[in-house]
Amino acid sequence: MDCPSAPFLRAWLTDRGVPAGLAPLEQPLTSGGPGTASVPLVSYLDPDGRAVGLAVAARKRYADLARECVDEWSAVLRTRRVILPVWPEQGRGRREIRVPGARLGECAKARRAWASVRRFRERGDTVLLLGQANGHRQDRPATADPEGCVTVVEPADLARLGDLDGSRLSFVIRPCAPIEDVTPLLRALRDRFPLLRGQHPAEWCYVMSDRRSSLRLATEAADLLLVLGRPDGPPPAPRAMVPVRYLSSLGDLRPQHLLRTYTIAVSATESSAPTPEELIGALSGLGPLSVVKHRVTSSAGGLGVQNAKYVKN
C-alpha cells in the first residue's frame, strides 16, 4: 500500500512537537520493539489498481496523537481534480509548454524588441519602454536594458514625462510585460502624442498574458487556489469566494483547508518549492485524483492579427 500523503501527516505531527519521519511501514514495526503500535487507516484502489492509504506507526505514548492525525486526514479523503495552468516558454526560437515555475528564457520576440529600441534610438527618438516584466517585477537587471529609455509602468508615470517632441517619440513594450497592462498606457499616450510611433504588433509578447488567462480560467472552475512558493504578485481570483493559500512547503497545507474542496487550481512561481509535481503527488494520496492542464496560447502574424487558442487536456 502506497502512502503519497505521508509528508502531510509528518508535518501535522511535527507541528505538535512529535518527532516523525518517513519510512517503509515494515521498518518501524520491526525495529520499534514491543512499544510500537500501528495505526492504519482506510485504503482505496486507484483507477489503475494501485492500493493507496494512510498509516502511522507510533510508540504507545504517541498512539492517541497518531490516531487523531489519521482521523483528521481521513476526513478529507475524496475524489478530486487538480487544474494546472501551463503556458509557452519561448527560448532560442522554440516554443515549449512548461508547467508554472519554469524559467522564461529570452525569446525571439524579446530580441526583436530590444533591436527596435536600438533602431529607434539610432534615428534620434526618445524611446518609451512600456510595462513591467511579469506585470509586477523585473526579471532582468536594469543594466541589461538599452540606455536612454524612459520607463512607463503606470498612469502616474505619464504625468512625469514632461514636454516631449511627439514627432520624435517611439514606444517599445518590455518583453514579458502583460499586454492588458500596457494597452491602457498606450491608449493614453496616443491621445497625448498622435504622432507616436512604435514597434510592430507582431513583436508583442503574449507569454504573461496567456499565463494570466490560463490561471484565471483555472481559478474560475476551482474551489481553492494553491500558490506555491513565495508570493509573486497578486493571484487572479475572479470569484471573491475562491480562497487562496500560499504554500512554502507541503506542511503548510492543513486538513481544514481541503474540506469541501473537489477542484483545486495550482499556481507556481519561479523556483517554487514545493513543485507542482510534489504537491500533486501528495494530494494523490487523499483520494482518486485527476489532473487537468489548462493552456492559452496567443500568436501574432505578420499582418498584426492575433490568434488565441484555448486548449484543455
* pLDDT range class, residue 305, cuts 50, 70, 90: very low
Q: What is the pTM of this model?
A: 0.75
Which one has a higher pLDDT value, 232 or 64?
A: 64
> Which amino acid, 279?
L
pLDDT tier at 35, thresholds 50, 70, 90: low
pLDDT level of residue 138 (50, 70, 90 thresholds) = very low
Q: What is the pLDDT of residue 34?
A: 55
Domains 80-86+208-299 and 108-204 share a fold: yes
> What is the pLDDT at residue 94?
35
Question: At 242, is the pLDDT very low, low, confident or very high (cuts 50, 70, 90)?
Answer: confident
pLDDT tens digit sequence for 199-238 = 888 888 888 888 888 888 888 889 999 999 765 555 555 5
**All structural domains of the chain with their residue ranges:** 6-74, 80-86+208-299, 108-204
Asked if pLDDT for residue 30 goes beyond 70, the answer is no
What architecture is domain 108-204?
A: 3-Layer(aba) Sandwich (3.40)
> According to the model, what pLDDT value does residue 236 have?
54
**What pLDDT digit, counting tens, does each position of 81-118 carry?**
999 988 655 333 333 333 333 334 457 788 888 889 99
**What's the CA angle centered on 150, arms 155 and 182, to 5 degrees?**
40
What is the structure's pLDDT at 96?
Answer: 35
Report whether the peptide linkage leading into residue 276 is cis, meaning its omega lies within 30 degrees of zero: no
Task: Check whether 122 has a pLDDT greater than 80.
Answer: yes
- The C-alpha atoms of residue 186 and residue 193 are separated, in whole angstroms, by 10
Query: Does residue 63 surpass a pLDDT of 50?
Result: yes
What is the fold, at CATH topology level, of the domain defined by 80-86+208-299? Answer: Cobalt-precorrin-4 Transmethylase; domain 1 (3.40.1010)
Which one, of 141, 144, 145, lies nearest residue 128 by Cα?
145
Who's near 104: CB < 8 A, 6+ residues apart?
A: 89, 90, 91, 139, 176, 207
Residue 112 pLDDT: 87
Residue 286 above 90 pLDDT? yes
pLDDT of residue 292: 93
Mean per-residue pLDDT, 54-83: 91
Instruction: Give Cβ neighbours of residue 57 (< 8 Å, ≥ 6 apart).
Output: 25, 28, 29, 32, 36, 37, 38, 39, 66
At 71, list the grid cell. Answer: 482521523
More confident residue, 144 or 79: 79
pLDDT of residue 90: 38
pLDDT of 311: 52
- How does pLDDT run across 254-276, given as a tens digit for each residue? 999 999 999 999 988 666 788 99
Using only C-alpha atoms, the chain has a radius of gyration, in whole angstroms, of 25
Predicted confidence (pLDDT) at residue 12 exceeds the cutoff of 90: yes
What is the sign of the dihedral through the CA atoms of 13, 14, 16 and 18?
positive
